Amino acid sequence: MHHLTAFAGLLVMPSHTWTEALALLLRWAHFLAGITWIGLLYFFNLVNVPFMKQVDVGMKPKVFQYMTLPTLQLFRWSSLLTVFVGFWYWAQIYVAADAVRMGVNPASTIGLFLLIWIVAWGILYFVVLKTPPGYLVGLVTAVVVIAAAWLFVKFTPVGQDDNHVLSIGIGGGFGFIMLFNVWGVIWPNNKRIIQGTLAGSPPANAAVLARQAFLASRTNFFLSIPMLFFMAASSHYTILGR
């Protein structure tokens, strides 16, 4: 009888709150969209860039039309879904929960997060538009993101002791910069080049547009590494808070 009762207990599904169910759905959507986005980011940087250098000029219009343009569409929408769902998850599941525990308003930390990382991207956007050497873009990026991460960890009013809030606040900040690079530089620049090429009249500044898109994409490629580290550390390796 004891064994039968134990077996029957295995068949009973545990109950979950709506918040727990929502958290699972948001994380699943975030993971799926993120795998798509980062996978395509690595494809563009590690495969497509060297491949396009070998493609004959006469073949480039077909490659643009049937491979690059559709892939960029999937790339930009998966980036938006990844960041939107991830931001929702972080704000509701962690920041809002800590705010309730502390008896404060979660909008303070959410607003600080947006302010810091949007300003950080604005600085990097200005640098990329000037098309300096790649090493200079990398140096400026490192300084800006380290400063932004320090500001967030130092001054965030909610979740100062919560590794989830702090780690995702850094990794998610990198994700915001990457998202804005996609929608602010990589997508519009490539769209102008591709549409102009397909119409038989590439933009006069195509080389500059391509260089800006390359710098933004390469920045995203390198930022993805610490971004993924901090995202994983939020649940699997406590480095900030507890």
In the chain, what are the domain boundaries? 18-236
Confidence of residue 102 (pLDDT cuts 50, 70, 90): confident
Q: State both tokens at 165.
A: 């809030």
What does R_g of the chain's alpha carbons equal in angstroms?
22
Answer whether residue 236 shows pLDDT above 60.
yes
Per-position b or e across 84-118, b if 16+ CB within 10 A of its CB = ebbbebbbebbbbbbbeeeeeebeebbebbeebbe
Answer whether residue 126 shows pLDDT above 70.
yes
Q: What pLDDT shows up at residue 13?
A: 60
Confidence of residue 201 (pLDDT cuts 50, 70, 90): confident
Confidence of residue 130 (pLDDT cuts 50, 70, 90): very high
Chain position carrying tokens 């930009």: 76
Answer whether residue 7 shows pLDDT above 80.
no
Answer whether residue 91 shows pLDDT above 60.
yes
- Express each pLDDT in 33-75 by its tens digit: 999 999 999 999 999 989 988 888 788 888 989 999 999 999 9
Lowest mean per-residue pLDDT among 182-186, 199-203, 218-222: 199-203
Q: How large a percentage of the chain has pLDDT more than 70?
A: 93
- Express each pLDDT in 145-181 by its tens digit: 999 999 999 999 998 889 999 999 999 999 999 999 9
Answer whether residue 9 shows pLDDT above 60.
no
Q: What pLDDT shows up at residue 218?
A: 97
Q: Of 178, 188, 27, 182, nearest to 117 (Cα)?
A: 178
Answer whether residue 237 shows pLDDT above 80.
no
Identify the residue with better confidence: 119 or 6: 119
Query: Is the Cβ–Cβ distance between 78 and 67 less than 8 Å?
Result: no
Q: What pLDDT shows up at residue 17?
A: 75
Q: Of 192, 165, 160, 168, nearest to 72 (Cα)?
A: 192
Distances (CA, A) of 197 to 60, 92, 131: 9, 45, 22
